[in-house]
Amino acid sequence: MAIKTLTLVGGISRNSLNKKYFRSIQELSIPHFEFETFDISKLPFFSQDLEMDPPDIVSEFKDLIREAQAVLFISPEYNRSFPGVLKNAIDWGSRPYGQNLWNRKPAALLGASPGAIGTFGAQHHLRQVMAYLNMSVLGQPEMYFNASHAFDEQDRLTNEKTKELLLQYFAAFEEWIRLVGERTEDREDLYPSEGLEDSPMTH
């Protein structure tokens, strides 16, 4: 059975490199993965005024998170972090308090940038948020992508090495999803599905 993987792309512009990256990943027909996506630009700005009775588009988004067996973020780098539009989507999924839908989701992250460090800064900020939300984030391999000359006129990846690395990356992610599933299955005491009441455990 293919792993239902909700993929959120943090680039929302028409010619987004990260959208091209995602399309290329879909075209690779990676074994055992079924990618679903959601256009995060359709979400309103998060407000606590709306969280108890959110607009339909938010409920639709939350249903996709609930149904997902895994989550993949593909994010550009904005000012050494990830774009606000992606943070907005993540915030919606984390609320209201005590109903964090990201909790325990096996997750991975990728990103494309025309810059030399290939979204290193974005990914590391994003990891901080994912860890707080108790997502089970793949630690290794990391993959940073300088995509300045990566696509041809048909928006296809030109470098066979990139495709090869992506296949390796998803093989590791698949193994991680299996391991994490086994680890958390029967440990409601350690990994409560509704999240911890008090976090962090300071005293």
Ligand X SMILES: Cc1cc2nc3c(=O)[nH]c(=O)nc-3n(C[C@H](O)[C@H](O)[C@H](O)COP(=O)(O)O)c2cc1C
Contact residues: ligand X, CB under 6 A = 11, 13, 16-18, 76-80, 113-115, 121
Least distance CB 138 / ligand X (angstroms): 21
Least distance CB 76 / ligand X (angstroms): 3
Least distance CB 108 / ligand X (angstroms): 18
Q: Indicate the residue among 76 and 195 with the shorter CB distance to ligand X.
A: 76
Q: Indicate the residue among 17 and 101 with the shorter CB distance to ligand X.
A: 17
DSSP for 85-146, written as a single string: HHHHHHHHHH-STT--TTTT-EEEEE-EESSTTTTHHHHHHHHHHHHHTT-EE--S----EE
Torsion (CA) 16, 18, 23, 26 in degrees, nearest 10: -170
What residue number has its CB nearest to ligand X? 11
Least distance CB 196 / ligand X (angstroms): 32
Q: Indicate the residue among 58 and 112 with the shorter CB distance to ligand X.
A: 112
Q: Indicate the residue among 5 and 75 with the shorter CB distance to ligand X.
A: 75
Least distance CB 80 / ligand X (angstroms): 5
Cα distance between residue 178 and residue 47, in whole Å: 35
Q: Indicate the residue among 79 and 154 with the shorter CB distance to ligand X.
A: 79
Peptide bond into 200 cis (omega under 30): yes
Backbone φ/ψ region at 98: left (φ over 0), alpha (ψ -120 to 50), beta:
left
Cα distance between residue 18 and residue 138, in whole Å: 20
